[in-house]
Structure 1
Amino acid sequence: MEYEFIDDPITGQARAKFSLEHQLLGPWLETEIGHDIDKLSSVLAAVDAVSNGVEQELIVTGNEYSLTINRDDAIVNMNVMLNGEIVMPDNLTADALQFDFQDGVSCGVDDFRHLLLSWAKFTKVT
């Protein structure tokens, strides 16, 4: 999984850019974790609980994205996709255009833990 963190010169906010297959993780980090130490700690605790066998699977539901953690993977989904509420405008579907929504992305639990710790270091929420 390739990614980089940058400070947006316009907004001053931390941004996360990922390779195409993991790009949904960027907005998840920015939106659901941001600079909030409590949210970060909560997600790390969930990762540890599943990794240590205390829980089989945990779901952390955020405002825009949901995170599912199991023993092997961390999976981020857009909440709107989970609800089945994305509706394409008629003028787009009438032309039989195909859209590839990246509705979910997964990575290994160890890589995900490392990602969270790297984000914490970059945003200085440790």
Structure 2
Amino acid sequence: MDFDFKKNTLEGTYHANFSMGHEALGRWLLEEVGKDFEVIETLFVQIKLLKHSANEWTLIGNEMTLVLSAEEAIVQENSVLHQSDEEFEDGIDFYNEESISSCGLEDFEQMIESWKAFITRF
């Protein structure tokens, strides 16, 4: 998973660019975490606890939900959680590449560490 972070110094806004298939992770990071160091520290604590556990941990946000397990991190839009296949006409596939992303727990932890280091600099 490739990513990079940028800050628009004129507007004070942050941008997170992620490789194809991981775009939802970037949206989740900006929309649900942002510069909230309390959430970031909670993520580190949960990651540490999950590394030796068979449990899952869920963080439900305003727009997106994160599910962590010992193996992976999954981010998806809350609206995707409540849709069924019956809501779509036959022959029309729901495009969810930008609505759902997953990665290994170690990659997720490295991404959060990089994000924390980035926002601490600015």
Smaller-chain TM-score bracket: 0.7 to 0.9
RMSD across aligned C-alpha pairs, in angstroms?
Answer: 2.3
Cα offset for 1:70?
0.8
The TM-score, its normalising length taken from structure 1, stands at 0.82
The alpha-carbon distance between structure 1 residues 84 and 99, as it changes in their structure 2 partners (threshold 3 A), is closer
- Report the number of matched residues: 118
Q: TM-score, normalised by structure 2?
A: 0.84
Identity %: 28
Report what 1:101 is aligned to: 96
Any idea what SS the aligned residue of 2:21 has? helix
1:43–1:60 CA contact under 8 A, matched in 2 = no
Instruction: Decide whether the 8 Å contact of 1:6 with 1:16 is kept in 2.
Output: yes
- 1:48-105 residue CA offsets vs partner (Å, 9 max, x unmatched): 111132x6111111111111111110110111110228x78xxxx7xx6655222311
Partner Cα distance (1:98, 1:71) in 2: 31
> Partner of 1:25: helix, strand, or coil?
helix
Distance, in Å, in 1 between the alignment partners of 2:48 and 2:35 is 20
In structure 1, list runs of 5 or more residues that go unmatched: none
Runs ≥4 in structure 1, deviation > 4 angstroms? 96-99
Q: Which runs of 5+ in 2 are unaligned?
A: none
